[in-house]
Structures are given as C-alpha cells and as structure tokens.
A and B are shown apart, each in its own frame.
Chain A
Amino acid sequence: MSAFSTARTRATPRWNLRQREAVLFYLCIAPWIIGFLLFYLGPILASFYFSLTEWDLLTPPKFIGLANYARIFTRDPLAIKSFKVTLVYTLAYVPTDLAFGLLLALLLNRKLRGIGVFRTVYYLPSVLSGVAYVVMWMWMFNPQHGLINTLLSYLHIQGPRWLLDPKWALPSLIIMSLWGVGRSMVIFLAGLQDIPNELYESADIDGANLWHKFWKITLPLLSPSILFNLIFGIILTFQSFTNAFIATNGGPLDSTLFFVLYLYRKAFEHLQMGYASALAWLLFVIVLVCTLVIFLTSGKWVFYRSVEE
C-alpha cells in the first residue's frame, strides 16, 4: 500500500500524467508478474530443463539430452498406452459432454413454470467434484450392490462389472464425469439467452421450422460458446487425474491409466523427475498444438456477431 504513495509523490515532479499512470499500472500488476515468473514461466522452463536430465531428487540432475523423449517413444509402451487411453477418453468424452450440455441448455432455455428448479438440479452436480464425488460413483458402480446394476436387475439385465472390467472401466469414468455436464450446460444457457428473440420471430414469419431455426440461428450464434466449451473441455480432459486415481488407480489392466496418472507415478512414486518432466512437456506441447489448431480453424466455423459495444 505504501509503495503506492511513495511512488506517486516521488514520481510527481519528474513524470507526466501518462507515465505516472503506466508506473501505477505496473505497480498494480506487480504481484501477477512476480507470480507469473515464480509459478508459471519459471516452472515451465525449469520443467523443460529437467526433461533433459536424469534426476531422482537424491543426487544432482545428470544431463542426458533428449534421451528421456527417445525413451517415451521407443522403450516405454506404458507411456504410449497411457497416451492412447487419454486420447480415446478425450475423443469420447468431450463431444458427448458438449452434446448433452447443449441438449440440456436447449430444454432449459424455455420459459416454463418451475424451470429454475430444473436448472438447479442439472447444475448442482457440476460444482461437486473431487474425492467425495468419485467415492459416491464407485458405490453407484458397485457390481453386486450398486444402484446401477440394481436398477438393471429390475429389467432382468445382468449389468457389467463397470470399474472392475477392463472393457467397461473407461466408459464408467465417462458416465461418472457426465454427471458434471452442468458446467458446459450453464455456458450454453448463457449463450442461448444472449440470442435476440427477434431472430426467431422473423424466422417464424418466414415459416421456418424448429430444425431450420436450430441450424440457421441457434447453432451459428452459439458457436463462440461451443468453441469455449470445446477448448476448455479438451484442456481439462487431457489432464484427467483425480477420478481415475481414486476410482481405478489406472486399472484394471491399465485400461484407465491416464497420461497424468502415469506422470504422477513416475514423478512421485518412482522419483524419476527428469522422465516425468519429459512426459509433462510432451503433454504441454500436445495440448498447446491442439488448442492452437482449434483456434486457427475456428475462424471458419465460429460466428461472431458484429461488435456491439
């Protein structure tokens, strides 16, 4: 606080108004700049350096060039497997989440009585993430006494062993995460409420049906929200860790061994800090490239209304 007044009084005689404002700006954001160097840029660069070393935390890091990266691609089938698991999960989960989120938002955007209650019900699970959420779902998926197989048994269906079955474990995690679809739903809902009603009214006059209105009005005007959900969905899903760590610990038969779970094991269980850093950097680059590609191609399908402000 005092930094403000001293900088100000000292600055007054020498600096003009604009310069003083600039100095004040940099003083205001100084915490962020320091934090950025200490907790973002520094760690990212350090992580790249570590990725070129062999390091067990006990002895000093030994520089080994790109050997860690070579190891990922040539001598570590588990790393490749964990990447495939993550990729399959992302490709299955993100579009499903977007589709359900959009569907729910469309249903909930109608002006019906009691719609607020429905919005609350669908949104609530998405604020509950973490261990309790996962433990609850482990009980849902329990093959003998869980709710899902109990309900299936009423229909005379023998449910699978869910999290314990290598074929069903990954789909189980997808179902588990879809309970949190409210996150993308709310963003779609905010986007929908921004679409002016007049557009639909004039479409009605032109005799457009629901299907046309959806494809010609709703979807194009919602494309910024779709882009947002797509990018954040991909970034978050590529980093999935907690759910699998708790529910399956990567099993059965490594069928849910997510990339970050593998990275965590290498770093904090096997103390291979150098190798784990190489895995982290690989993930960083992959997600960065994915995000950039989506951004750069988004000009073709994302429709921005002319600037109104």
Chain B
Amino acid sequence: MASLKSTIKASTELDTLQPGHWRRNIWNLVIYLMLILGSIMFILPLFWALSSSFKSDYQVMQYPPQWIPDPIRWQNYPEALTYVPFGRFALNTLIIAVGAITGNLLSCTLIAYGFARLRAPGKDFLFIVMLSTMMLVEPVRIIPMYIEFKALDWIDTFLPLIVPAFFGSPFYIFLLRQFFMNIPRELEEAALIDGANRLQILWRVILPISKPALAAVAIFNFQGVWNDFLYPLVFLHNQNNYTIALGLNFFRSSYTVHWGYLMAASIVALLPIVVVFFFAQRYFIQGITFTGIKG
C-alpha cells in the first residue's frame, strides 16, 4: 500500500529529481531527450535560414557549410531590401493590417455582444449559419468577389482587403462571443438598473474587461494579414500595391539563385510575426482557449 501511495504522489509531483523514483526519472530523461532532439529539428530551419542570410553567393555553396558564416556578410540585408522596395511593401501591409484590425474590432465586438447577450427569435439559427461559414471553402468565394470588386473598381486598391473586415469575421466573432459569455451577467445588470443602455454597457463594462480577447483578435488578424497570399495575389496587381508576401514572391521569382539575399528578405518578412509571437504568446494560446475548441 505504501508503494502505491508514493506512485500516486510521484505522478503529481512537480519535482522530478526526487531520489528513489529512478524509474520515473529515467522516463523523464527519455522525454527530455526526445523533446531536445525534436526542438533541434524545429529550430534548425530558422537557424539555417539565419546563417545563410549572412553568406555571400560563394559561401552559400561551400561544402561542408559554415554554420556561422565567416566573414559575416551584413550587406545582404540592405542590399536585398533595396533590390525591390520592401519598405513600401511593408508599409502597404501595415496599412491593410491597421484597416482590417480596426474593422474587425468594431464590427466583431458589436456582433459578438449581440450573440452573447441579447435574446431574439432566430438567433440560434443565425449563429449556426455564422459558424458554418468558418468551414467554408474559400476558393468558392474568390471568383465572385473578384468580379464584385472589379465592378466597384476596387481592384488594385486595398479596399477588397480592408472593407470586408468591417462586416465581421466568423472566427473573431466566435472568439469574442465565447469570452463575453463568461462575463458574469451581474456586472451588466447593475449598470442596467442604473439606467445605462446596452451600448453604454458594452463600452463601459464589457470592453474594459475584454482586453485580452480584443488583443487576441488583433494579433490573429495581424498574423492573418501579414501571411495572407491568395487574396492579395488576386486583388493587387500593380507592384506599388504589393504586400510583403507578394513582394517576397516577386523577389523570389526574379533572384532565385541568390539564396543569401532571399534568406535575408525572408528573415525580415518573418521577423514581425516572431516578435509579436514572443511578446504575445499567451494571447495566441488564450485565443484557442477562449473559443473553447478543446471541447
């Protein structure tokens, strides 16, 4: 019985280095080794890209490769980034991101609040319709949307990538709705009794405590805009309007043998998302938890 008790204890024990549980420690060691090996495999592509981004065309082809280039060719970065106007592309992407995030935050909060708090006939049906659009195959929309925006003369403007955000996006609506549902109703009821209307409640009571959810929406949206390729490819044709993704693709197709340059440009294109990720990792994770998709 004593050994049984200690096994249970060990299974909930945080300290892995407790003496006497050698079997458990070996098991943990095996797990550590697997995790370390896997981590190396997951980090290597980034490391390899970073290392190559500091190499000349000649160094890139050396065998065996230098893991840390000698000499380090810093010029790759300024040279690659001025071959094509990456600054312009980054600015374009930022404009689209700011527009889309603004649109989504405004519309999705309002829509999510409606779904979370207000009772109306037909609400459940509409909610299911909204959820099902999350599972929609995007390509079925893209041709008619192209024709729609062409008729509006919006092709080669940022409008097709910004305006739809003002009408909400199902995933963000769902995320915010789940978050609002978990806010105790009593908070609102007190304000209602004080004579505040629903909009005031949304603004003064709900939004201030929803900052983590709003941040998650903004971050997911930024990531989505920054990485998006198909929609900009269809809607933007003039090089001056390129996003960072289109610009990088253009750069790739024109300078395909200069891997040092290509990697420098790729690292710069990846950097904003890596930075956002490290500063806001918990929002990425929370976003998933809010939606309750864990079941």
Task: Tell whether A and B belong to one assembly.
Answer: yes
List A residues at the B interface (Cβ < 8 Å). 1, 4-5, 8, 18, 21-22, 24-29, 31-36, 38-40, 42-44, 46-47, 50, 57, 104, 107-108, 110-113, 118, 120-125, 127-133, 135-140, 142, 144-145, 147, 150, 153-154, 179, 186-187, 190-191, 193-194, 197, 200-201, 204-205, 222-225, 227-228, 231-232, 235, 238-239, 241-242, 245-246, 260, 263-264, 267-268, 273, 276-277, 280-281, 283-284, 287-288, 291, 304
**Additional pairs, 5, CB under 8 Å, beyond known A24-B114, A110-B28:** A47-B141, A135-B248, A137-B45, A147-B45, A187-B293
Contact A260 B229 (CB under 8 A): no
Q: Which B145-175 residues have C-beta < 8 A from chain A? A: 145-148, 164, 166-168, 173
* B246 cross-chain contacts in A, Cβ below 8 A: 131
Contact B138 A239 (CB under 8 A): yes
**Is there a chain A Cβ closer than 8 Å to B254's Cβ?**
no
Contact B270 A36 (CB under 8 A): no
Contact A241 B135 (CB under 8 A): no
Supposing A22-B120, A145-B259 touch, asked if A187 and B288 sit within 8 A by C-beta, the answer is yes
Q: Which B50-81 residues have C-beta < 8 A from chain A? A: 52, 60-61, 63-65
Tell me which of A18, A50, A107, A276 contacts B119 (CB under 8 A): A18
Q: Closest approach, in angstroms, between the C-beta of A11 and any C-beta of chain B?
A: 12
Q: How many cross-chain pairs have Cβ atoms below 8 Å apart between A and B?
A: 279
- Provide the bound-state CA to CA distance between A29 and B39, in Å: 44
| Size band of the interface chain B makes with A | 35 or more
Tell me which of A22, A121, A186 contacts B288 (CB under 8 A): A186
Contact A190 B294 (CB under 8 A): yes
Tell me which of A125, A187, A246 contacts B252 (CB under 8 A): A246
Contact B164 A47 (CB under 8 A): no
Best-surrounded residue of A1, A5, A28 (most CB of chain B within 10 A):
A28
Q: Which B199-221 residues have C-beta < 8 A from chain A? A: 199
Contact A122 B39 (CB under 8 A): yes
Best-surrounded residue of B60, B61, B259 (most CB of chain A within 10 A):
B259
